[in-house]
A and B are shown apart, each in its own frame.
Chain A
Amino acid sequence: MDILHNLALGAGVAFSLHGLLFCFVGVLVGTFVGVLPGIGPLAAISLALPLTYYLSPPIALIMLAGIFYGAQYGGSIAAILLNLPGTASAAVTCLDGNQLTKQGRPGVALFTAAIASFTGGIFALVMVLGFTPMIASFATDFGAQDYFSIMLLGLVAASTLSVGSPLKGMTMVVLGIALGMVGIDDTSGAERFTFGLLALSDGVNLVALAMGLFGVGEILANLGQTHREPLKTDGLTFRSMLPRREEWPGLWRTILRGSGIGAFVGALPGSGPAIAAFMSYAAEKKISRNPEAFGKGELRGVASPESANNAAVQAAFIPTLSLGIPGDAVMAVLLGAMILHGITPGPMLVTSEPEMFWGLVVSFGIGNFMLLILNLPLIRVWVRMLSIPYHVLYPAMLFFICVGVYSVRNSVFDIYSTLIFGVIGYFLIRLRYPPAPLLLGFILGPMMEVHFRRALLLGRGDYTTFFDSVPSTVFLILSALFLLLPLWSTFRRRTARLSKEGRD
């Protein structure tokens, strides 16, 4: 059995002392940042990026991935107890989770969230295991034009499916691509947009950009805001956390449906855990016999989004690992981390770096078990975390950002660039421009340029080369649909409003 052999290889990596240790560190840090409102997994992963220079690539990836899915577990805690989503994807969990807290059943909501997240994670793990090698072997025939087109699809989908204005999202993608061109051009060796600065000849530093936008920018945006009152926690015992017996059967079906929707949505390029959670909740409400119970403390309203967001997070690894196409900004940073470690992402990854792929998959299983233990018996520790005041936390985070970005290549220049990107990130947040697509464009941009030039070189300068292959044509048509859809819906909304105003 080939797969058993591969799993044994992966287990060798994931169960090594380093593998277990850094998987634990990852899920621990992930839960921590997930619990704390105001720091997302992106900020935490960018903070941890410099540390990964001291680890071997598979271990580094195991840790970074652990932060990502750990944050989904943690995000539900603040959502349920405080009605504050610790991560964007936990926003849906607030609806019913916080209602349950108000009805005096916070423990049940927390227990359900943990079990749902765990099931979602394991479900998606099986999907990753089954689909990644399959898609990768399908994609080995991909030419340059197919790569260009699927990257375009990923970028368009990511920017138009995000919350808020699709046009702003797409503008951020293009700005990111533009930033990605700074430095030495891979194909010709010419220096572009470096303004004669030696420090820019390697390009804009990914760590500085990510930490600036998502670390410093977020902190600056949080600092100006009003403050939350500390939380009073009362007796959370394990017994009080178990759902009633009659609630169990329906709950399981909900969790499985949520896992399925989450894994499917998460695997699509451009749609992250937040969208998965939202879709799963909407579907559950639609098929429910009493939809009016949702939003008023329905346990299934917690189980559904929580299973979906954790499944989506792990399923997002499918396109990243099989095609080298990150679905969202977190995946883009992970991809950037792989590139920094000298690993070329793409369909060859599964076969050329088997330790990394199989080790990561096995670590998902281990990490989810660790999270279950961290979240059920130790829930009170996390609840206490919620009372750490922000004025202690944010100077510490800024300090780690400063010294972390310096340690990447011992460059003071990078500290200044982090600050500049932080201020830019702050204004982007205030002006409601989503910063995540910018990062996605920054990482995918240079790859797109290489494939674009190669495709046209092989196609003898003829643009129709992009329609010569079936995959490329399909991806381009899908991209066009994603581009036109928001335009069409704005148009419809506007005409509807105009006709309404006309009648009034």
Chain B
Amino acid sequence: MTRPINWLQVGAAALLGLVGAFFVWHGSDYPMGSLRRMGPGFFPVIVGAVLLLFAILLVLEVAHSEKEKDFWIPRPILMVSAGFVAFAALLERAGLVPATLVMVILVSLAEKPLRPVSAAANAVALSVLGVVVFLYSFGIPVAAIHW
């Protein structure tokens, strides 16, 4: 009755192990010091080693675990990422209003069905709110719109 090996979970655990190994490897570049007077490298090496150990135990634990449903749904991730990148890129160059409009429209595309009217209304409302709250009340140092 054993389930087939769950490669996704094993891969995730292996990735965590790699992070642990990286901390051991990179941490040992910093001075280790002695037990009495520890250098900055001591703790990272210990923590990295513990992480590596846990990752190995995890591989054993999850090897035959139940398969994940809906693991990879690309649309939300892609559209939300696009929205964030656009916001970050536009905020200081074009101003808060264009950044907000583009971002809200983009992330609204993450979900089916598309609702163009509602997305546009949402974008406009949030731009107004953003300008009032963050520009006028909190005074973040960006322009509403760069001409």
Contact = CB atoms under 8 A, between A and B. Distances in A.
Interface in A386-420: 390-392, 394-396, 398-399, 402-403, 406-407, 410, 412, 415-416, 418-419
Contact of A457 (B36, B51, B81, B130): B36
A171 B16 contact: yes
Given A175-B51, A181-B44, A407 B138 contact: yes
Main secondary structure of the interface of B (DSSP, over half): helix
A183 B55 CA distance: 24
A237 to B, nearest CB: 33
B81 A178 contact: no
Interface in A421-453: 422-423, 426-427, 430-433, 445, 449, 452-453
Nearest to B54: A171
A219 B83 CA distance: 14
Contacts of A220: 76-77, 80
Interface string B84-112: 11011001100010001001100110110
A188 interface: yes
Contacts of B51: 171, 174-175, 178
Interface in B55-73: 55, 57-58, 61, 68, 70-71, 73
A224 interface: yes
B107 A175 contact: no
Contacts of A407: 134, 138, 140
A290 interface: no
Contact residues on A (Cβ < 8 Å of other chain), bracket: 35 or more
A403 B108 CA distance: 17
Contacts of B19: 175, 178
Given A181-B47, A423-B81, A431 B9 contact: yes
B108 A395 contact: yes
A72 to B, nearest CB: 27
Given A394-B107, A431-B8, A406 B77 contact: no
15 contacts: A168-B58, A168-B61, A223-B80, A223-B111, A390-B111, A395-B126, A399-B100, A402-B84, A402-B88, A430-B70, A431-B9, A449-B43, A452-B43, A456-B38, A460-B36
Given A403-B134, A463-B35, 4 more contacts: A391-B119, A419-B81, A419-B84, A431-B71
Interface of A: 51, 54, 165, 167-168, 170-171, 174-175, 177-178, 181, 185, 187-188, 190, 192-193, 216, 219-220, 223-225, 390-392, 394-396, 398-399, 402-403, 406-407, 410, 412, 415-416, 418-419, 422-423, 426-427, 430-433, 445, 449, 452-453, 456-457, 460-463
Interface of B: 8-9, 12, 16, 19-20, 23, 26-27, 30-31, 34-40, 42-44, 47-48, 50-51, 54-55, 57-58, 61, 68, 70-71, 73, 75-77, 80-81, 83-85, 87-88, 91-92, 96, 100, 103-104, 107-108, 110-111, 115, 118-119, 122-123, 126, 130, 134, 138, 140-141
